[in-house]
A = this chain, B = another copy of it.
Amino acid sequence: MKAYSYDKSFELYDRANEVVPCGLYGHLGVGRARLNPMGCYPLFSERAEGTYIWDVDGNRFIDYACAYGPNALGYQDPDVDAAAMRQREKGNCTTVVSPVMIECAEKLVETINCADWAFFAKNGGDVTTLAVMTARHATGRKKIIMMEHGYHGVYQWCQKAGTPGVLDEEICNNLYVPFNDFEAIKKMVDDHPGEIAGILSMPYDHISHYDNVLPDEDYWPKVRKLCDEKGIVLIIDDVRAGFRMDLAGSDHYFGIKADLLTLGKAIANGWNMAALVGRKEMREAVEDMNYTGSYWLSAVPLAASVAAITKMKEINAVGIMQKTGEKLTRGLKQTADANGVKLSTTGLPSLFKIILKDPDESLIPHQVWVGEMVRRGVYISHFHNMFTNTVMTDEDLQYTFDVADEAFKIVTKKYPEILI
Report A's interface with B, CB cutoff 8 A.
12, 15-16, 18-22, 24-28, 31-33, 41-49, 53, 55-56, 61, 63, 65-71, 75-76, 81, 85, 88-99, 101-102, 105-106, 108-109, 116-119, 122-126, 129-130, 132-134, 136-137, 142, 153-157, 159, 163-167, 169-170, 172-173, 239, 264-265, 270-272, 283, 285-298, 301, 379
Contact = CB atoms under 8 A, between A and B. Distances in A.
A288 B123 contact: no
Contacts of A288: 32-33, 164
A32 B283 CA distance: 11
A270 to B, nearest CB: 4
B155 A129 contact: yes
Number of copies: 2
Nearest to A276: B21
A97 B44 contact: yes
A290 B33 contact: yes
Contact of A81 (B63, B88, B289, B297): B88
B293 A26 contact: yes
Contact of A134 (B134, B165, B297, B301): B165
Contacts of A49: 91
A5 to B, nearest CB: 15
Contacts of A106: 18-19
A159 to B, nearest CB: 6
A149 to B, nearest CB: 15
Contacts of A85: 85, 88
Contact of A102 (B12, B166, B239, B287): B12
Which of A19, A22, A49, A91 is packed against the most chain B CB atoms within 10 Å? Answer: A19
A122 B119 contact: no
Contact of A16 (B70, B76, B96, B102): B102
13 contacts: A18-B106, A19-B108, A22-B287, A33-B290, A44-B102, A45-B97, A49-B91, A70-B294, A85-B85, A93-B272, A124-B293, A132-B165, A169-B172
